[in-house]
């Protein structure tokens, strides 16, 4: 049986728009989850949304919505962001899900019956946006140490969790498991700043707002957001039903990946709650650093956000994933600037990786009519690169086991760069001029193809779309397991090698693009909040027979190009079951043709064909448009066989 690996992100607050910084935790966890799956682990990757609390209640009121309407809209937004970024979670939990609400109520009651909860008056300095009480000594310049905003003195009747009771047990846990909190610096921070000064009991209910899970045995109280939120890691697996197969199979978590500001909740409060519930403890809490923007944490309220939808649609999802995984030293903070982002794309993706693939495939096409040649005898220079290919998996695996993600990528790039140097040294273009060198040319191009194949396999967890495109040009599919796919010699001579259509990573004119980006930022600032009027007019009610007239099916985009002379239209070749159709969509502003290929989509298949710009469009791809005029393609939640009926 495969070893299990349970990995979680924090559940995301449902109180504002999501920015690039938010994507960091999910993208890192996604790369880890994909990596472990390829290693053969039975992975369960959990993410979700944290939907209760005073802040949501306030924001919903400001937006003239009920809290549920408000969180529903944000849920849609985050799910479409994760789908755009290709986040391969196995379960998405919302804290407003009925099963979670019920489970949290049972957890609260259990803690109460055990004597770990008691009622008392709470007075403290409270930061509303962070929903945290602080002591005087924890404040930084009199302000909230997490977000730097004002705190105010508040008093209310609350239930308290006897956190202080678990002080010694927590210390024992850390001593016995020195890696429980990682990196080490965060362990020291927790011990010195919180455990040693003495843990205080924790206020875990509120009477001052209503948008929370009600305490079943005292209806003036709602459960304070941290017991509600932290419990998601077990309720998602079916707890309190400990017989549930998911709970038995996956708990305890192998890793809770969290931003550094919430390490305290995960490494002190959460294990104490689990101890009180007599449950096994997670194996590790990893506190990653922040993506900074101009030296500050990215945050909506500071106005320094970068919109991940815009970046992905403009530069490609893999570019954004690559930047996040590569640029932020794991465990410490990393800096986002438009220039750093564009430079990474140009140097690593377009120049190093893109060039390696395009030069190699072009030379095979030109010299061997697109058929991979069989290699002949190797010389010393070849042995070196073959050795590097064979060693790549283990060095990347070691880095990933240590959660050193940028270093894992850096190892892959060492081979990318070595392979480019191998081209310069072997000079295949010169070899091609003399028929006597044909065998040597064959060997060089074969070795390069093998380097590219192993690089693409190893890149699959990090930049899955590009890895797939590269492998496809060698007639290969995405790997299911690393096993056997990471050693030299798997490709067979005689296979067809195709050049990718257009560059995988187009080179960017950095200065020109910087001007565009800055221009866009300025114009976004001036933009009124809602740029596009959504139709407020309600459509007529239809009956089920009317709805049944619409035929909806899943499709897969096989090819896509811009329609000449149109800045808006993309022409896609869509596979729908046994047939392929041409479909035009006005989405060129949000999707490049490269981003479309391979996507699973939802198609209206019985729409009368129409000629647009001289091309017949045979159906419609469904999209969603928000009030800002942003458009995203609808995708089935999981990849389905194309042609599946949607009803």
Question: In the bound complex, what is the minimum distance in angstroms from residue 185's beta carbon to ligand MSP?
Answer: 16
**Cross-sheet strand order for the sheet of 205-206:** 205-206, 222-223, 213-214
User: Where do we find the tokens 């492998």?
Assistant: 471
Q: Does 12 participate in binding ligand MSP (rule CB under 6 A)?
A: yes
Q: How far is CA 18 from CA 49, 297, 298, 329, in A?
A: 12, 13, 10, 22
User: Where do we find the tokens 């195709």?
Assistant: 498
Stretch that binds ligand MSP, among 10-18, 216-224, 507-515, 519-527 (CB under 6 A): 10-18
Quick one: 275 or 558, whose CB is closer to ligand MSP? 275
Q: Among candidates 439, 443, 467, which has minimal Cα distance to 453?
A: 467
* Binding residue for ligand MSP, selected from 174, 251, 286, 290, defined by CB under 6 A: 290
The tokens of 421 are what?
A: 């140097």
Helix axes 67-84, 308-315, angle to 10 degrees: 30
Is the bond into 511 cis (omega within 30 degrees of 0)? no
Question: In the bound complex, what is the minimum distance in angstroms from residue 273's beta carbon to ligand MSP?
Answer: 11
Radius of gyration of the chain (CA): 27
Q: Does 255 participate in binding ligand MSP (rule CB under 6 A)?
A: no
Angle at 288 between CA 285 and CA 291, to 5 degrees: 155
Stretch that binds ligand MSP, among 259-267, 385-393, 551-559, 621-629 (CB under 6 A): 259-267
Q: Among candidates 461, 480, 488, which has minimal Cα distance to 391?
A: 488
Question: In the bound complex, what is the minimum distance in angstroms from residue 259's beta carbon to ligand MSP?
Answer: 2
HSE value, Cβ hemisphere, 13 Å, CA-based, for 624 = 13
Quick one: 268 or 291, whose CB is closer to ligand MSP? 291
- d(Cα 49, Cα 89) in Å, to the nearest integer? 13
Q: Does 590 participate in binding ligand MSP (rule CB under 6 A)?
A: no
Dihedral pair phi/psi, residue 293, rounded to 5°: -130, 110
Buried b / exposed e along 487-509 (16+ C-beta atoms within 10 A)? bbeebeeeeebebbeeebbbebe
Quick one: 257 or 601, whose CB is closer to ligand MSP? 257
SS3 630: coil
Dihedral pair phi/psi, residue 407, rounded to 5°: -70, -35
* Binding residue for ligand MSP, selected from 258, 423, 451, 463, defined by CB under 6 A: 258
Helix axes 380-401, 405-426, angle to 10 degrees: 170
559 DSSP β-pair partners = 573
- d(Cα 189, Cα 321) in Å, to the nearest integer? 30
Q: Does 94 participate in binding ligand MSP (rule CB under 6 A)?
A: no
Question: In the bound complex, what is the minimum distance in angstroms from residue 263's beta carbon to ligand MSP?
Answer: 9
Stretch that binds ligand MSP, among 17-25, 555-563, 593-601, 639-647 (CB under 6 A): 17-25
Q: Does 108 participate in binding ligand MSP (rule CB under 6 A)?
A: no
Q: Among candidates 13, 211, 202, which has minimal Cα distance to 101?
A: 211
Quick one: 265 or 393, whose CB is closer to ligand MSP? 265
Quick one: 146 or 411, whose CB is closer to ligand MSP? 146
Question: In the bound complex, what is the minimum distance in angstroms from residue 581's beta carbon to ligand MSP?
Answer: 40
Question: In the bound complex, what is the minimum distance in angstroms from residue 34's beta carbon to ligand MSP?
Answer: 19
The tokens of 268 are what?
A: 């002190």
Among positions 188-247, residues that touch ligand MSP (CB under 6 A) are 229-230
Residue closest to ligand MSP (Cβ):
259
* Binding residue for ligand MSP, selected from 5, 6, 24, 70, defined by CB under 6 A: 24
Q: Does 308 participate in binding ligand MSP (rule CB under 6 A)?
A: no
Question: In the bound complex, what is the minimum distance in angstroms from residue 83's beta carbon to ligand MSP?
Answer: 18
288 DSSP β-pair partners = 259
Q: Does 25 participate in binding ligand MSP (rule CB under 6 A)?
A: yes
Stretch that binds ligand MSP, among 20-28, 65-73, 154-162, 625-633 (CB under 6 A): 20-28
* Binding residue for ligand MSP, selected from 7, 28, 203, 291, defined by CB under 6 A: 291
Applying CB under 6 A, what is the total number of residues that bind ligand MSP?
A: 19
- What contacts 38, CB < 8 A, 6 or more positions away? 460, 461, 479, 480, 481, 482
Q: Does 22 participate in binding ligand MSP (rule CB under 6 A)?
A: yes
- d(Cα 527, Cα 535) in Å, to the nearest integer? 19
The tokens of 204 are what?
A: 């875990």
Among positions 359-378, residues that touch ligand MSP (CB under 6 A) are none
Q: Among candidates 222, 256, 266, 262, which has minimal Cα distance to 105?
A: 222
Q: How far is CA 550 from CA 542, 545, 566, 642, in A?
A: 12, 9, 28, 17
Question: In the bound complex, what is the minimum distance in angstroms from residue 175's beta carbon to ligand MSP?
Answer: 25
Q: Does 313 participate in binding ligand MSP (rule CB under 6 A)?
A: no
Question: In the bound complex, what is the minimum distance in angstroms from residue 18's beta carbon to ligand MSP?
Answer: 8
Quick one: 22 or 468, whose CB is closer to ligand MSP? 22
Question: In the bound complex, what is the minimum distance in angstroms from residue 290's beta carbon to ligand MSP?
Answer: 4
* Binding residue for ligand MSP, selected from 5, 10, 416, 470, defined by CB under 6 A: 10
Cβ-contact 569, 613 below 8 angstroms? yes
* Binding residue for ligand MSP, selected from 7, 11, 345, 596, defined by CB under 6 A: 11
Stretch that binds ligand MSP, among 5-13, 158-166, 455-463, 524-532 (CB under 6 A): 5-13
* Binding residue for ligand MSP, selected from 298, 345, 423, 602, defined by CB under 6 A: 298
* Binding residue for ligand MSP, selected from 5, 6, 7, 13, defined by CB under 6 A: 13
Q: Give the DSSP letter string of 131-163.
A: TEEE-GGG-BTTB-TTT----EEEEEEEEEE-G
Quick one: 25 or 447, whose CB is closer to ligand MSP? 25
Cβ-contact 284, 255 below 8 angstroms? yes
Among positions 37-66, residues that touch ligand MSP (CB under 6 A) are 50
User: Where do contacts with ligand MSP occur on this chain (CB under 6 A)?
Assistant: 10-13, 21-22, 24-25, 50, 229-230, 258-259, 261-262, 290-291, 297-298
């Amino acid at each position: 049986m495969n070893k299990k690996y349970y990995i979680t992100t924090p559940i995301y607050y449902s109180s504002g728009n999501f920015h690039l910084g938010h994507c960091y935790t999910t993208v890192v966890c996604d790369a880890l989850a994909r990596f472990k799956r390829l290693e053969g682990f039975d992975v369960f990757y959990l993410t979700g949304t944290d939907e209760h609390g005073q802040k949501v209640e306030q924001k919903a009121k400001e937006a003239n919505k009920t809290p549920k309407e408000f969180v529903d809209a944000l849920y849609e937004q985050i799910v479409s962001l994760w789908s755009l970024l290709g986040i391969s979670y196995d379960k998405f939990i919302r804290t407003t899900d009925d099963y979670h609400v019920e489970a949290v109520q049972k957890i609260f009651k259990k803690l109460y019956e055990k004597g770990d909860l008691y009622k008392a008056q709470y007075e403290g300095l409270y930061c509303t946006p962070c929903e945290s009480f602080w002591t005087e000594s924890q404040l930084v310049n009199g302000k909230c140490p997490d977000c730097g905003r004002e705190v105010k003195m508040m008093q209310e009747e609350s239930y308290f969790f006897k956190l202080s009771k678990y002080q010694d047990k927590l210390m024992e846990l850390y001593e016995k498991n020195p890696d429980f909190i990682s990196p080490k610096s965060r362990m020291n921070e927790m011990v010195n700043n919180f455990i040693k000064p003495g843990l205080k009991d924790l206020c875990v209910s509120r009477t001052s707002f209503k948008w929370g899970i009600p305490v079943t045995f005292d209806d003036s109280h709602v459960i304070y957001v941290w017991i509600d939120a932290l419990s998601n890691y077990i309720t998602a697996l079916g707890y309190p039903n400990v017989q549930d197969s998911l709970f038995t199979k996956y708990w305890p978590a192998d890793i809770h990946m969290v931003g550094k500001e919430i390490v305290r909740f995960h490494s002190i409060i959460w294990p104490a709650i689990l101890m009180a519930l007599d449950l096994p403890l997670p194996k590790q809490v990893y506190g990653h650093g922040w993506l900074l923007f101009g030296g500050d944490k990215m945050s909506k309220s500071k106005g320094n956000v970068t919109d991940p939808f815009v970046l992905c649609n403009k530069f490609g999802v893999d570019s954004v994933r690559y930047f996040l995984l590569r640029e932020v030293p794991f465990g410490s903070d990393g800096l986002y600037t438009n220039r750093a982002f564009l430079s990474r794309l140009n140097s690593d993706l377009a120049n190093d990786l893109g060039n390696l693939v395009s030069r190699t495939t072009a030379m095979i096409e030109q010299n061997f009519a697109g058929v991979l040649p069989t290699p002949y005898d190797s010389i010393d220079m070849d042995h070196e690169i073959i050795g590097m290919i064979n060693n790549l998996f283990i060095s990347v695996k070691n880095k990933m086991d240590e959660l050193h993600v940028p270093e894992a990528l850096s190892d892959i790039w060492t081979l990318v760069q070595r392979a480019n140097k191998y081209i310069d040294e072997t000079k295949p273009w010169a070899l091609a001029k003399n028929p006597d060198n044909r065998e040597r040319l064959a060997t060089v191009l074969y070795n390069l193809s093998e380097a590219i194949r192993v690089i693409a396999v190893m890149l699959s967890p990090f930049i899955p779309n590009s890895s797939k495109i590269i492998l496809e040009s060698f007639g290969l599919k995405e790997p299911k397991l690393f096993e056997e796919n990471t050693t030299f010699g798997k490709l067979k001579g005689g296979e067809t090698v195709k050049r990718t259509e257009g560059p995988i990573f187009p080179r960017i004119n950095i200065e020109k693009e910087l001007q565009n980006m800055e221009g866009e930022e300025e114009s976004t600032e001036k933009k009124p909040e809602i740029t596009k009027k959504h139709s407020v007019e309600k459509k007529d009610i239809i009956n089920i027979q009317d709805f049944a007239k619409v035929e909806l099916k899943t499709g897969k985009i096989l090819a896509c190009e811009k329609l000449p002379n149109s800045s808006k239209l993309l022409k896609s070749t869509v596979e729908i079951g046994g047939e392929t159709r041409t479909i035009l969509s006005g989405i060129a502003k949000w999707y490049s043709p490269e981003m479309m290929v391979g996507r699973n989509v939802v198609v209206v298949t019985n729409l009368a064909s129409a000629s647009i710009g001289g091309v017949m469009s045979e159906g419609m791809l469904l999209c969603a448009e928000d009030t800002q005029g942003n458009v995203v393609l609808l995708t089935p939640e999981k990849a389905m066989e194309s042609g599946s009926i949607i009803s």
